[in-house]
Every structure is written in structure tokens, then in C-alpha cells.
Chains A and B, each alone.
Chain A
Amino acid sequence: MSHEPFETLAAIYAVGALDGDELTQFEAHLPTCPACEAAVRDAEETLARAVLTAPPQAPPAAAREALMRRVTERRDVRSRAWLRWAAATLVAAGAAAVFAGTWVAVRYEARLGQMAREMAAAKEALREELSLDRRAVELLRDPTTRVVDLRGRDGAAAANGRMIWNAAGGGHLLATGLPPAPPGKTYALWAIARGTPRPVGLFAVDANGRGGHRVAADTARDAVQGFVVTLEPEGGAPAPTGPIVLTSTR
């Protein structure tokens, strides 16, 4: 995409009016471009401040009561979720210390709130393009879910991946830009725990270089520190043998 009109696109995106190919392209471009991301944020701040110049108006008291009741009822559940989140964060912090700065996820975790906003659009796009089931969307709503970026390596420099990962709920890998696996070969996804890869599934890519894979939760295992994708013989292997094509570590 030509980068010249990015301020205009950011403004149109922020008011929710971008559509068609421009929307698709801009959303693909956004995570890769700090300038555009900043422009969108700036536009959102502007809109928020503009909106808040309207005189305040009290919502019906019943809404407040219903909401507070809902929150109180869910108290125990909510506290446990918080503990899980705290634990996951500590694990992530530990992993980052060991694998110096390897957790792209930390950055994306921070984006989850903002991602809720992109959910409506993402929901449909993901469903159509990657046939993701509702589960992925549910995962994204969960505050304990992290989104880990995978970068292309070796023979697949143009490849990109994203892992939506929840320690308790499992995850979804979304990969793009991968060349079709050569005959007799397949892509294999590995979860890294304690520095050791464990196989979590095989997948193929379509004609557009897109692939996806659902990973079941396995809470009995050690906390996952990252993910890699390698090219393996059909049928897979107990440990990676082929070249790494995608990795969440640098």
C-alpha cells in the first residue's frame, strides 16, 4: 500500500468508515507500522474527547443495579481469573528474562483491550478467511488470552503467524504467506516449554498460503514459552528435524 495517505486512512478507520480492500489492507498494515498505529490512537483520543464535550446524562438507575449485581455474582469466578492472569504474567515475565525479549506477546497482551474494539471486524474476517470457530473469538474475550506473533524464517521470510493462546483454553494458530509444503512434507507446530519443543499438531496451507491449527489445552504440562513452526516429513516427528519457518522467538 502506498504510505502517503496514511493519515487519511487512519482517520477513516478511527471513525469506523473504512471498507472494502482498503480496510483489509489497512488492517494488515496496521500491526506492522507504528506511525499508522499512533495516528489511529491519536484519532481515537480526539474522537473520545470530542464525544465527551456533550453534556453528561445519567443512565437509568436500573442499569447500574443490574450491572453491580452481575459483577457481585461473578465475584469468585472473576478473582480466580485474575489469579490465573497474574500467574500467566509472571510466567511470561520469567520467560522474557530467560529468552531476552522474546515475548512479542507482552506487547500484544497490552493490545487486547484495544483489540476488543477490532473484534467485530476481526470476527467476521477471521471466520471467513480462516474458518475459525467461535472458540477463537471466545479466547480473545478472555483477559488471560495472549496473542503471540510469529515471524517468518529461513525459506519463508514473507510468512507471518499469530498464535491466540490461553493456557487454560488452548489456542489457535493463524499463519499467512507460507509456501505450499513440498510433496511428502507438512508443516508442524511446536509449543516450547522448559526450552523444549513439544509437537502440538500438523497443518497444511491453502493456495493463498494461509493455514490454521487449533491447539487443545493441556494444563498438566509446563507453561508454554513460545511457538515455532517447522517443515517436517508427512506424519510428523517427535522432535523438530526440518527448517524453522515461523518462530515467536527472534
Chain B
Amino acid sequence: MRLPCHRGASLIVDGMPTPGTELIRAMAAGDHEAFTRFYDRYAPLVFPLVLRVVGERADAADVLQDVFWEAWRTAAAYDSARGTPEAWIVTRARTRAIDRVRAVRRRSETFVPALDAASAPAAPGGDVAERAGDRALVAEALARLPAPQREVIELAYYAGLTQSEIAERLEQPLGTVKTRIRLALARLRELVTLP
């Protein structure tokens, strides 16, 4: 099964696209133009992730700035043999976004992230229409996971809970949570790997 790849679409906008790795190499050499292109290419791709994690648009814009500032500053340390530019920027964006959420959570200790619509078990039948706005932020690959797997990914990757916190939250044995995460990753891998 193949998913539409929005990344591909944005690459075409550049005309003959410079590979992301080349842009990062140029950034490491202090090339502003390369950084502008890097931002224009990747910011719209990671912004939905950051927004989904932190919730507020203004906060998300803040985090996004930090993420790209850090990318600019550490471009020299990027090694294409150790990961794609996509993984480089997405991993960083997710980490910074979670940092922000945790900092907020520490400030208000009683705060418990709500199980949002997307991570609640899917109602049988169509739930698409009523959550159209929310769905816009949900990665399509995640939406294709079985509900129990999607739930653990939502809670870990997007809400920043650890496996023990998830087990407690879902009232499931830790082993079950571990297995679900492993299965979810394996399934996602199938979904995003081109044949």
C-alpha cells in the first residue's frame, strides 16, 4: 500500500530540487540562501507536527523557530550516512515540541493531557465529518493504524507520555503497551516504505 507523499509535491515547487543534504551542507558553510530554501521546504512539513504537539499556533511558531535556528547552528554536524534530512528535522521538531509541552506541564503540576479525539478508540462507522478540522493535523499514515496501536503512538510521540505512563493511563499491562508500540512501528514502516 502506498500513501500520498506531500513531501514529493513540495520538492517539485523548487523546479530542479536541490537535495536536502546539499542544502544542509551549504547551511554548514553559512549560506543564507540555502537556509531560506531549507526553511521554505521543510517548515510547512513539520509545522503540522509541532502544532499538533503544542496545540497553540503561537507556541508552535515559537518552537518552529527554535527548531530551525538549531538546524542552522548544527548543520555542520549533520551526517547524511546517519539519516535523511527529513528524519533529522522531524526528530528535532518533535523533541523540541515535547520539551515545550513538558515545561508547561511542570508549571502546572495537576495538568493531565486530555485524551483527544484522535487518540480515543475510533467509533465504529464514520467519524470523519465531525472531526474534519482535527483530521487535517493527523498524519495519514497514523490514521491507518489499528486504534490500539494509533493510541499508543499518539500518547507517546505526540503527547510525550512514557510507556509506564501510558500503561497507567490505559490501565493495560506494561508488556501490552510495549507490544503495541512495536507493532505500530512495524505497521507504519510498511505503510511508508515504497514498494
Contact = CB atoms under 8 A, between A and B. Distances in A.
Interface residues of B, number: 86
A15 interface: yes
A62 interface: yes
Q: Which of B49, B92, B181 has the most CB of A within 10 A?
A: B181
Contacts of A63: 43, 61-62, 64-65
Interface residues of A, number: 59
Nearest to B185: A11
Contact of B90 (A48, A67, A79): A48
A51 B90 contact: yes
A72 interface: yes
Contact of A59 (B6, B30, B43, B184): B43
A109 B98 CA distance: 25
Contacts of B184: 11
Contacts of B88: 113-114
Interface stretch (B71-79, B109-117, B124-132): B71-79
B91 A110 contact: no
Interface in B1-58: 3-7, 9-10, 28-30, 32, 35-36, 39-40, 43-49, 51-52, 57-58
Contact of A51 (B83, B95, B139): B139
Given A54-B49, A59-B64, A72-B32, A48 B84 contact: yes
A140 B49 CA distance: 26
Interface string A78-113: 110010010000000000000000000000011111
A44 B188 CA distance: 11
A133 interface: no
Contacts of B43: 58-59, 63-64
B139 A50 contact: yes
Given A15-B181, A58-B47, A82 B76 contact: yes
Nearest to A23: B162
A56 B44 contact: yes
Contact of B87 (A48, A58, A66, A119): A48
A113 B188 contact: no
Contacts of A53: 3-6, 139-142, 192
Contacts of B75: 143
Contacts of B152: 17
Given A56-B44, A117-B91, A117-B95, A50 B6 contact: no
Nearest to B72: A71
A113 B192 contact: no
B122 interface: no
Contacts of A19: 162-165
Contact of B76 (A16, A18, A54, A143): A143
B64 A55 contact: no
Interface of A: 7-8, 11-12, 14-20, 41-60, 62-64, 66-68, 70-72, 75, 78-79, 82, 85, 109-117, 119-120, 141, 143-144
10 contacts: A7-B182, A16-B160, A16-B162, A46-B192, A48-B86, A54-B136, A58-B44, A59-B61, A68-B32, A116-B92
